[in-house]
């Protein structure tokens, strides 16, 4: 039985890299994959999935009003589809998550979604909330905070490079707009390791 998968993480954990590698594994074995990405995310170009290490692939886009089940079904009328991959899955609507569940259940095609779990205020995205609720398989793709602990939260930086406290849930930006942090340092609003004061006792001992 095909399943609905949700692979989630904070920013810059390599989600797109894992997605592209998994799709390549299917293609290498002579199978067809359908790659999709949210229309709102055009950082790599419209309808383009790209990773920070240079991998990339064209993808079909979805908007909030699109019926993804019908789109997959129409595509399957033209050619076989052996797996569906969805990047930036946090931008799915709840209804679209159920549509993807129907792709797995009725069309019997595995669906692998990749996205963020929470926004910069620590709140679940609607698409992520629905996936956490109904996906058959949940997997965390891990990355680390500057302190070395596992990063589970996302901080958004304002135009001055400081921790943004308010704003729209969705703001598309590059790697310099968001920082992944552990829960402890996200709560403390500490974006980086603080330099020791010049008169710090430890520094003085080292100087000797």
Cα–Cα distance measured from residue 57 to residue 22, given in angstroms and rounded to the nearest whole number: 12
Closest by CA to 49, choosing from 87, 79, 21, is 87
Q: Which CATH class is domain 4-142?
A: alpha beta
The structural domains of the chain, with segments of one domain joined by +, span 4-142
Q: What does the chain come to in residues?
A: 208
Closest by CA to 114, choosing from 122, 66, 100, 180, is 100
112-133 per-position pLDDT tens digit:
999 999 888 888 999 999 999 9
The predicted structure's pLDDT at residue 63: 92
Answer whether residue 70 shows pLDDT above 90.
yes
Which residues are designated catalytic? 88
Take residue 9 and report the two structure tokens written for it: 């993480």
pLDDT band at 204 (very low <50, low <70, confident <90, very high): very low
More confident residue, 142 or 105: 105
Cα–Cα distance measured from residue 63 to residue 153, given in angstroms and rounded to the nearest whole number: 26
């Amino acid at each position: 039985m095909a399943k609905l998968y949700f692979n989630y993480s904070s920013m810059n954990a390599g989600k797109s890299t894992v997605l592209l590698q998994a799709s390549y594994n299917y293609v290498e074995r002579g199978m067809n994959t359908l790659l999709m990405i949210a229309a709102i995310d055009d950082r790599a170009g419209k309808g383009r999935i790209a990773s920070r290490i240079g991998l990339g692939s064209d993808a079909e886009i979805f908007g909030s009003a699109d019926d993804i089940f019908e789109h997959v079904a129409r595509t399957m009328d033209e050619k076989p589809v052996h797996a569906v991959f969805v990047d930036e899955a946090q931008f799915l609507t709840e209804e679209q998550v159920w549509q993807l569940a129907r792709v797995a259940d009725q069309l019997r095609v595995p669906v692998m979604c990749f996205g963020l779990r929470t926004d910069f205020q620590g709140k679940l995205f609607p698409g992520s909330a629905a996936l956490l609720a109904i996906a058959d398989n949940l997997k965390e793709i891990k990355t680390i905070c500057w302190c070395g602990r596992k990063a589970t939260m996302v901080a958004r930086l304002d135009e001055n490079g400081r921790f943004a406290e308010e704003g729209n849930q969705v703001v598309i930006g590059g790697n310099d707009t968001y920082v992944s942090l552990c829960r402890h340092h996200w709560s403390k609003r500490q974006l980086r390791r603080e330099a020791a004061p010049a008169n710090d006792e430890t520094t003085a001992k080292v100087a000797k």
